[in-house]
Copies of this chain bind each other. A is one copy, B any other.
């Protein structure tokens, strides 16, 4: 085996020697030589990790790889969290890569399905983020990692800025398996504000002519929050946050959870819940969290990534967010996923479809999208052993005397904006699985992990159901004026209401006519800026919305 180990080491040395010929005598490679550099350090058949995060993208490196000569680079196996850019698919179209393991392909999901159908690539598996990191560390170690950071020094030390995201995990999985780490950076400086990745873990640094691409995915404009979302948010607080005493939690993205964030300082405060619920978040720095932070509702936020425009606000709130001695956010998606899974008592998010078993999914036919981190958050963490009031009560409600349970809440309006019913007898995910040849349908949150479903009609507490028929009845009771909802007799619904399995607004002491936009502690992006004392600087596209 010693020979194999030597071959391993020698191969790394040979690659580095080829890279050195293109660098400046140190670790810096001029940007115009990027494709040459990749052709020098990557070999045919290599497993290559390209940093496609949820937010920031190693776009320069993605383009350079897509421009490589397929005669020199071919049969690559790409491993990446997110497929976000056209160049992430161009490598398959051009015959440079033919295998893919990934987590999320939202923006490229239709094109990806087409390429798979054409046989341009084989998908190894679709993972949650944590699973993909796990496999990078176990059986999918990259031979070459192409990552992205804000700044580097000449020793290769990297400063990621607020959007640290996946970088440390990808680099660790590569650098300690004899792989090569190539980083694109916006600039080279003499002295970094802080070191996020030690230079010894990085082999080549490429300063790019323009800053890397990054998307503000977690900004929700309060102006777009409709009243049914506000009613659902009120019910979430009254039916879940308050009785279960939810302090540690994770919110999905979407307008319903944004509404919850915005009514903490009004509706929740009026119920005397300040300091009692929603004190510790695992969440990106959502702008809609600003009013709750300013109201003193929030004690801390652990972040997966950052959010464009929130940099100064976060930096001025080092008591709330993870901020380094340099004064800027340090996020970390792998650790935040662990925090969301094991330190949070509740996950609440939105979906597109729910079936009679409570299985929910955002998957639709003709798209191969994946779910990113939601399944990891939206599952009972059965390895958990520490107790909390919320976890213990959820266990008891579920009839378990030996263990607690995570609260997993799905919020969905009975109909989607286009009128399509959200409750269905059969998820589209089943059709997708059949057409794409998946072994299992891509269910985002499994019904047996969901504890509550909230629609504009009411709340179903699935923990209290003792049979599949009761669960189905509870879901039909809140499905409103849809075929799914009408399939149930009013008597069944009354019975479930009497047993508090189904709760309508009146059962929770909520008058639906009070669910107005007046409850929102910010009505617009401009109000969020004001609430932040001007520290929040929204990206231009949200200001255009405001003017509209």
Interface size on A, residues (CB 8 A): 94
Name the one of B177, B294, B342 contacting A130, with C-beta atoms under 8 angstroms: B342
Contacts of A1 in B (CB 8 A): 293-294, 296, 317, 319-320
Asked whether A335 lies within 8 Å of B169 as measured between CB atoms, the reply is yes
Asked whether B198 lies within 8 Å of A198 as measured between CB atoms, the reply is yes
Mark each residue of chain A from 522 to 533: 1 if its CB lies under 8 Å from any CB of chain B, else 0: 000000000001
Bound Cα distance A90, B185 (Å): 49
Contacts of A47 in B (CB 8 A): none
Shortest Cβ gap from A103 to chain B (Å): 9
Shortest Cβ distance from A395 into B: residue? B440
Asked whether B385 lies within 8 Å of A133 as measured between CB atoms, the reply is no
A126-B386, A294-B1 known; A343 vs B440 contact (CB < 8 Å):
no
**Residue from A7, A279, A293, A324 whose CB has the most chain B CB atoms within 10 Å:** A324
Mark each residue of chain A from 131 to 166: 1 if its CB lies under 8 Å from any CB of chain B, else 0: 101110111010000000000000001000000000
Asked whether B134 lies within 8 Å of A343 as measured between CB atoms, the reply is yes
Bound Cα distance A5, B7 (Å): 53
Question: Which residues of A291-307 are within 8 A (CB) of B?
Answer: 293-294, 296, 299-300, 302
Bound Cα distance A162, B279 (Å): 38
Contacts of A338 in B (CB 8 A): 130, 133-134, 137, 334, 338
Name the one of B344, B382, B386, B404 contacting A380, with C-beta atoms under 8 angstroms: B382
Asked whether A134 lies within 8 Å of B382 as measured between CB atoms, the reply is no
**Does any Cβ of B come within 8 Å of A178's Cβ?**
yes
Mark each residue of chain A from 375 to 398: 1 if its CB lies under 8 Å from any CB of chain B, else 0: 111111111111110001000000
Name the one of B320, B380, B392 contacting A440, with C-beta atoms under 8 angstroms: B392
Bound Cα distance A8, B320 (Å): 10
**Does any Cβ of B come within 8 Å of A114's Cβ?**
no
Bound Cα distance A175, B377 (Å): 26
Mark each residue of chain A from 16 to 33: 1 if its CB lies under 8 Å from any CB of chain B, else 0: 000000000000000000
**Does any Cβ of B come within 8 Å of A413's Cβ?**
no
Asked whether A385 lies within 8 Å of B319 as measured between CB atoms, the reply is no
Asked whether B172 lies within 8 Å of A332 as measured between CB atoms, the reply is yes
Bound Cα distance A66, B363 (Å): 56
**Does any Cβ of B come within 8 Å of A111's Cβ?**
no
Asked whether A138 lies within 8 Å of B383 as measured between CB atoms, the reply is no
Bound Cα distance A317, B2 (Å): 6
Shortest Cβ gap from A265 to chain B (Å): 13
Contacts of A371 in B (CB 8 A): 385
Q: Of A37-45, A231-239, A441-449, A477-485, which stretch is located at the interface?
A: A441-449
Contacts of A138 in B (CB 8 A): 248, 280, 282, 300, 302, 339, 343-344
Bound Cα distance A378, B383 (Å): 7
Bound Cα distance A377, B383 (Å): 7
Contacts of A134 in B (CB 8 A): 338-339, 341-343
Contacts of A178 in B (CB 8 A): 318-319, 323
Shortest Cβ distance from A408 into B: residue? B382
Shortest Cβ distance from A380 into B: residue? B382
**Does any Cβ of B come within 8 Å of A512's Cβ?**
no
Bound Cα distance A138, B249 (Å): 10
Question: Which residues of A491-505 are within 8 A (CB) of B?
Answer: none
**Does any Cβ of B come within 8 Å of A116's Cβ?**
no
Shortest Cβ distance from A406 into B: residue? B382
Name the one of B175, B375, B383, B404 contacting A341, with C-beta atoms under 8 angstroms: B383
Shortest Cβ gap from A458 to chain B (Å): 26
Bound Cα distance A478, B264 (Å): 55
**Does any Cβ of B come within 8 Å of A200's Cβ?**
yes
Question: Which residues of A161-190 are within 8 A (CB) of B?
Answer: 169, 172, 175-178
Shortest Cβ gap from A362 to chain B (Å): 13
Asked whether A9 lies within 8 Å of B318 as measured between CB atoms, the reply is yes
Asked whether B533 lies within 8 Å of A446 as measured between CB atoms, the reply is no
A195-B198, A339-B137 known; A126 vs B300 contact (CB < 8 Å):
no
Beyond A7-B319, A176-B330, 8 extra complex contacts between A and B, CB < 8 Å: A9-B318, A125-B388, A127-B386, A169-B335, A175-B324, A176-B324, A178-B318, A359-B402
Can you list 23 contacts pairing A with B, beta carbon distance less than 8 Å?
A: A1-B294, A1-B296, A2-B317, A5-B320, A9-B318, A125-B386, A131-B343, A135-B343, A139-B280, A139-B299, A172-B330, A176-B323, A176-B324, A201-B324, A334-B338, A378-B383, A379-B381, A379-B382, A381-B383, A382-B446, A402-B441, A403-B440, A404-B440
